[in-house]
Copies of this chain bind each other. A is one copy, B any other.
Amino acid sequence: MSRGKDGDGVLEPEIDGASSLSLEGICAQKRQQAQQLLGAGELWLIAARETGVRPEPALQLILPCDFTWDAFVILTGTAAIAIVGRYDAPGLPAGWEVISYDEDPGDALRSVLRSLNPRRVLIDSSPDHPLMDGLSHGLYLKLQSLLPGITFNSAEQLLGRLRSLKTPQEQRLLARAVRRAEEDLTWVAEILQPGMSEREATSLLQDRLRADSLEPAWGWQGCPGFSFGRQPSHAGSGDRILEEGQLVHVDYGVRMGGYCSDLQRVWLCAGEPDLGLNAAFAAVRQAIDAAAAALRPGARGYQVDAAARAIITSAGYPEYLYATGHNLGRATHDGGPLLGPRWARYGRSPEGSVEAGQVYAIELGVMVEGAGYLGLEEDVLVSDSGAVWLSEREEALWKLP
């Protein structure tokens, strides 16, 4: 189950083709996929506006343009219709029926709904997942007043599958983003040394991305997040100075061609790992093995989580306070099943089923007293026969060169 070479060999040779894929082409494929995933009589209605400042994550998946005025995008198994303001209309790509308005979109919207006469109308609303919750509450109220008598259902199930079932092109883009992040991390490890600060290390990686017009997977504020001898947080890197004997932990990913990788790596700065570090590394590695082994089509998200979590707690470490894994895609925390525990804050998201074609990050770690955070994160593709590694695993605790 190692990457490409020993595994099913699908991803390794095709990554080079990734750079020829345009975002417009990917969007057109995702639109077709959405139409295939829609059930008979189902209509998906996306409402959005000022998407330049307020992106609608589902809309971005199927349309590569921004909308300034209120936009109503409608898909059924056979229809693809966009009701948009006059000055937004020229931005639509081929393949869409475009209806433009000046003063009021209401008549066009009601007329399209009447003629398509759907059995169910799906909207982007989800209490549990931000990427499937793109409809704002005020626009929801507006939809209600524009379409009296229509009952709205959540598009959560459709969107979970659309986001998480990656096309072969999306798989290649993700594999390429993983590869790039690995190259960057190998490069930066050659430079890291005692006396350097977390922020300096961050600048090294971010400057490297800027030079190639790339972006960190989750923004310039928190990615990469370096933690020298301490517990990481979402706030990312701080002012800590690297000392000998500390663990260098980094959480890093690259957005490349619109798709995100997400890796965690750990190095020991000088000296030999003692037994405490070796034991912690073994537990973390085995827990990731267990998650990958459980990550098979049909498994529920919470089952995969439980398999990994049990390894950590039975080895005597405290339970980690986050989910074991999440989908990767346009966003680092993409839609689809969460490989997480059944905690209140996760809602129904760990109940979903794993399917072939999904791409996950598996992440977990433990604090090692006096050294720092020993956490790893690996990226995998789910095939019919189980997980295939997209990342070159950290097989034993790395040491800074």
A→B interface (CB under 8 Å): 49-50, 52-55, 57, 65-70, 85-91, 101-106, 123, 125-142, 145, 154, 218-219, 221-222, 232-235, 321-322, 331, 333, 343-345, 347
Interface contact A133-B138, CB-CB below 8 Å: yes
Contact of A140 among B65, B70, B137, B218 (CB under 8 A): B137
Q: Are A125 and B130 in contact (CB under 8 A)?
A: no
A127 and B106 contact, Cβ closer than 8 Å, known pairs A54-B55, A234-B68, A345-B69: no
**Is the beta-carbon distance between A88 and B233 smaller than 8 angstroms?**
yes
How many copies, total?
2
Within 8 Å by CB of A233, from B91, B138, B140, B333, lies B91
Q: What's the least CB distance linking A163 to chain B, in Å? A: 12
Among B54, B57, B87, B89, contact of A130 (Cβ-Cβ < 8 Å) = B54
Q: Are B87 and A233 in contact (CB under 8 A)?
A: yes
Bound-state Cα–Cα, A154 to B141, Å: 12
A146 CB → nearest B CB, Å: 9
**10 A-B residue pairs with CB within 8 Å:** A53-B130, A53-B131, A65-B235, A86-B321, A88-B235, A91-B233, A106-B344, A123-B137, A135-B136, A135-B137
Task: Please name the residue on chain B nearest to A56 by beta carbon.
Answer: B54
Give the docked Cα–Cα distance between A347 and B106 (Å): 12
- Minimum Cβ distance to chain B for residue A395 (Å): 27
Q: Which of B127, B134, B234 contacts A141 (CB 8 A)?
A: B127
Min C-beta distance of A182 to chain B, whole Å: 22
From B66, B125, B129, A222 is in contact (CB under 8 Å) with: B66
Scoring A101, A132, A222, A234 by chain B CB atoms within 10 A of each residue's CB, the highest score goes to A234
Decide if B235 touches A91 in the complex (CB within 8 Å): yes
A136-B141 contact, Cβ under 8 Å, with A57-B54, A91-B233, A102-B321: no
Q: Within the complex, what minimum Cβ distance (angstroms) separates A161 from chain B?
A: 18
CB-nearest residue of chain B relative to A128?
A: B138
Report Cα–Cα, A55/B331, bound state, in Å. Answer: 13
Decide if B135 touches A68 in the complex (CB within 8 Å): no
Query: Which of B88, B103, B218 interacts with A344 by CB under 8 Å?
Result: B103
Residues of B within 8 A of A128 (CB): 138
Residues of B within 8 Å of A321, CB to CB, are: 86, 102-103
Q: How far is the CA of A345 from the CA of B129 in the complex (A)?
A: 29
Known: A66-B234, A343-B104. A333 touches B133 (CB 8 A): no
Q: Provide the bound-state CA to CA distance between A87 and B321, in Å.
A: 9
A99 shortest CB reach to chain B, Å: 14
Residues of B within 8 A of A333 (CB): 50, 53, 68
13 new A-B contacts, CB < 8 A, other than A53-B130, A53-B333, A86-B233, are A53-B331, A54-B57, A54-B133, A65-B235, A85-B234, A87-B232, A87-B322, A90-B233, A125-B137, A127-B139, A127-B142, A135-B136, A136-B136
The interface residues of chain B lying within 8 Å CB-to-CB of A142 are 127, 347
